[in-house]
């Protein structure tokens, strides 16, 4: 065992998996750029206060944060998510609204690592600041849905809920608290601890012993005021108009505190229930104000890249393909010709690789085969002398031919097309 290995919950991403990651982000970029979203790249590290606003009653903030005091005596944290950073950036730069942005990158949570749950994990996401319009919520949800479709995933269920306006939510939380207090002896010790901090999160318990008390708990739907009800039915109507299937789940409470009104989750059908949320989001109309900005509505989601790729593996879609070069240069004259030829080809947009250490012809041809290239370009002493190279097809048979060096790029472009 080597002395140094990745820390628990952290992973190296190697080829060809890393190419799939890039393709994942590119596919997301294409999906949301076409809808007018621009990329924002916030720093990995923020003043810890930025994240305290995400919810002082959530594990993400109280237990799982990677925080420390830096050399300038600032208390900072690695971001556990990016919505708070985006809102902080909005307050700092005051861009015109609607501000429609997307992001991609790593986040850090000190969680118990398991399949689909890591301490460093990547997300792609969007946020829109400004408009207070339930049809924007529908646009946001629809972009997430379309992205999963583009990946080819079939087993994704969209769950939606409304957590109401702050008053509705407060009345609901009070009723929940009363209900759980009355039945406290029937709750597991873990849920009793959760109850003291955040009654909403008790609804999230997956422990069978808690199920009966949770089943008889008050339902948010009965606490929604007129505004929340109207907004939620507009969201549901909009999703129906777009033919996006969804399930209303009034037990859906998200793991962060800033949500109000619309909340939603994309649930994967192949993953363990503790880690089956592929993505989620909702409205967070108070967050910008909490961070010192003007009252500004906001809505967005984040999709977990690591977890979604596991779902892709399970469904055998969006597979990791080895990236290949087009041409492999075999040079038995010492290597300088391979250096010149690969440089020339790459400058002309042809993906080219070569062998090193002046190996034998046989060994270089083996390397050419392994590389997956379509064509080998071979240069030996005779070719060097006459200013030619041999072009040899490696895959579909076909004759090899001698080509002058000045014609090489054009010949290869013809062969490769
Ligand atoms: P979240 O539900 O905490 O929401 O995370 C979104 C997604 O990130 C999850 O559904 C999951 O796929 C992935 N994820 C979270 N934690 C881990 C982990 N430890 N390991 C692997 N994947 C993980 C947010 O982060 C909000 N900022 C979403 C949002 C954006 N709400 C409004 N705008």
Predicted confidence at residue 255, as pLDDT, reads 75
Percent helix, strand, coil in the chain, to 5, is 40, 20, 35
| Ligand 1 proximity of 280 Cβ (cutoff 6 Å) | yes
- pLDDT tier at 207 (50, 70, 90 boundaries)? confident
Catalogue the E-assigned strands of 136-220. 156-162
* Per-residue pLDDT at 368 exceeds 80: yes
Structure-model confidence comparison of residues 62 and 224, the more confident one = 224
The helix (run of H) or strand (run of E) holding residue 121 is strand 120-129
Residue 329 Cα to ligand 1 middle (Å): 46
Predicted confidence at residue 32, as pLDDT, reads 98
| Ligand 1 proximity of 83 Cβ (cutoff 6 Å) | yes
Query: What mean pLDDT do residues 75-80 have?
Result: 97
- pLDDT tier at 206 (50, 70, 90 boundaries)? confident
Cis status of the peptide bond prior to 210, with omega within 30 of 0: no
Cβ-Cβ contacts under 8 Å for 292 (sequence gap 6 or more):
91
Domain boundaries, the chain: 17-165+225-315, 327-416
Residue 19, classified by CB atoms within 10 Å of its CB into exposed (0-12), middle (13-18) or buried (19+), is: middle
- Pick the residue whose CA is nearest to atom 9 on ligand 1: 279
Predicted confidence at residue 198, as pLDDT, reads 85
- Pick the residue whose CA is nearest to atom 10 on ligand 1: 279
Task: Report the residue among 81, 275, 297 best suited for mutation to probe ligand 1: largest number of ligand atoms under 8 A from its CB.
Answer: 81
CB-based contact 330:380 (threshold 8 Å): no
Residue 399 Cα to ligand 1 middle (Å): 54
CA–CA dist 386, 367 (Å, integer): 25
Say how far residue 391 (Cα) sits from the centre of its chain.
Answer: 42
- Among residues of the chain, what percentage have pLDDT more than 90? 85
pLDDT in tens, 255-313: 788 899 999 999 999 988 888 999 999 999 899 999 999 999 999 999 999 999 999 99
Residue 110 Cα to ligand 1 middle (Å): 13
Return the SS3 of 332: coil
Task: Report the residue among 21, 121, 137, 308 best suited for mutation to probe ligand 1: largest number of ligand atoms under 8 A from its CB.
Answer: 121
* Per-residue pLDDT at 56 exceeds 90: no
Task: Report the residue among 275, 280, 297 best suited for mutation to probe ligand 1: largest number of ligand atoms under 8 A from its CB.
Answer: 280
To which residue do tokens 């809808």 refer? 35
Task: Report the residue among 66, 78, 104, 123 best suited for mutation to probe ligand 1: largest number of ligand atoms under 8 A from its CB.
Answer: 123
Backbone angles phi, psi at 47, to 5 degrees: -55, 135
Query: What mean pLDDT do residues 358-387 have?
Result: 96
Sign of CA dihedral 94, 99, 101, 107: positive
| Ligand 1 proximity of 278 Cβ (cutoff 6 Å) | yes
| Ligand 1 proximity of 122 Cβ (cutoff 6 Å) | no
| Ligand 1 proximity of 300 Cβ (cutoff 6 Å) | yes
Predicted confidence at residue 341, as pLDDT, reads 97
- Give the other-Cβ count within 10 Å of 348's Cβ: 13
Query: What mean pLDDT do residues 244-259 have?
Result: 89
What would the 3-class secondary structure string for 332-348 be? CCCCHHHHHHHHHHHHC
- Pick the residue whose CA is nearest to atom 12 on ligand 1: 304
Predicted confidence at residue 55, as pLDDT, reads 74
Average pLDDT along the chain:
94
Predicted confidence at residue 62, as pLDDT, reads 79
Residue 353 Cα to ligand 1 middle (Å): 39
- Nearest CA among 333, 328, 164 for reference residue 260: 164
CATH number of this structure's domain 327-416: 3.40.50.800
| Ligand 1 proximity of 301 Cβ (cutoff 6 Å) | yes
Residue 239 Cα to ligand 1 middle (Å): 22
Entry pTM: 0.94
* Per-residue pLDDT at 367 exceeds 80: yes
CATH number of this structure's domain 17-165+225-315: 3.30.930.10
Structure-model confidence comparison of residues 153 and 61, the more confident one = 153
Q: 237 to each of 55, 104, 150, 241, 246, how far by Cα in Å?
A: 31, 30, 23, 6, 11
- Tell me 114's DSSP state: B
CA–CA dist 54, 82 (Å, integer): 10
């Amino acid at each position: 065992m080597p002395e140094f290995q990745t820390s628990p919950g952290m992973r190296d991403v190697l080829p060809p998996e890393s190419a799939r990651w890039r393709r994942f982000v590119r596919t997301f970029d294409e999906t949301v750029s076409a809808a007018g979203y621009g990329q924002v790249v916030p720093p990995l590290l923020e003043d810890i206060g930025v994240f305290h606003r995400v919810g002082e009653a959530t594990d993400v903030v109280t237990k799982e944060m990677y925080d420390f005091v830096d050399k300038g005596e600032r208390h900072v944290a690695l971001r556990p998510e990016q919505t708070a950073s985006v809102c902080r950036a909005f307050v700092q730069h005051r861009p015109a609204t609607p501000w429609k942005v997307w992001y991609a990158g790593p986040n850090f949570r000190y969680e118990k690592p398991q399949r689909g749950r890591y301490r460093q994990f990547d997300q792609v996401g969007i946020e829109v600041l400004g408009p207070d319009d339930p049809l924007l919520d529908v646009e946001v949800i629809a972009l997430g849905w379309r992205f999963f479709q583009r990946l080819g995933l079939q087993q994704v269920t969209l769950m939606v809920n409304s957590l109401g306006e702050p008053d509705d939510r407060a009345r609901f939380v009070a009723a929940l608290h009363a209900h759980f207090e009355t039945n406290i002896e029937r709750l597991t010790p873990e849920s009793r601890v959760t109850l003291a901090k955040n009654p909403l999160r008790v609804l999230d318990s997956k422990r069978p012993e808690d199920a009966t008390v949770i089943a008889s708990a008050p339902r948010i739907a009965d606490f929604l005021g007129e505004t929340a009800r109207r907004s939620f039915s507009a969201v549901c109507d909009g999703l129906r108009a777009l033919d996006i299937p969804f399930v209303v789940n009034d037990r859906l409470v998200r793991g962060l505190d800033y949500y109000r009104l619309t909340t939603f989750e994309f649930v994967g059908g192949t993953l363990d229930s503790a880690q089956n949320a592929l993505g989620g989001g909702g409205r967070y109309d108070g967050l910008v104000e909490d961070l010192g900005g003007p009252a500004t509505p906001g809505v967005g989601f984040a999709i977990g890249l690591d977890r979604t790729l596991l779902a892709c593996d399970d469904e055998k879609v969006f597979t990791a393909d080895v990236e290949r070069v087009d041409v492999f240069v075999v040079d038995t004259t010492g290597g300088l010709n391979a250096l010149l030829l690969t440089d020339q080809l790459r400058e002309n947009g042809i993906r080219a690789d070569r062998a090193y250490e002046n190996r034998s012809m046989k060994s270089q041809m083996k390397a050419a085969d392994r590389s997956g290239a379509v064509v080998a370009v071979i240069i030996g002493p005779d070719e060097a002398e006459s200013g030619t190279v041999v072009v040899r097809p490696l895959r579909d048979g076909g004759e090899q031919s001698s080509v002058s060096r000045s014609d090489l790029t054009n010949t290869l472009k013809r062969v490769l097309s």
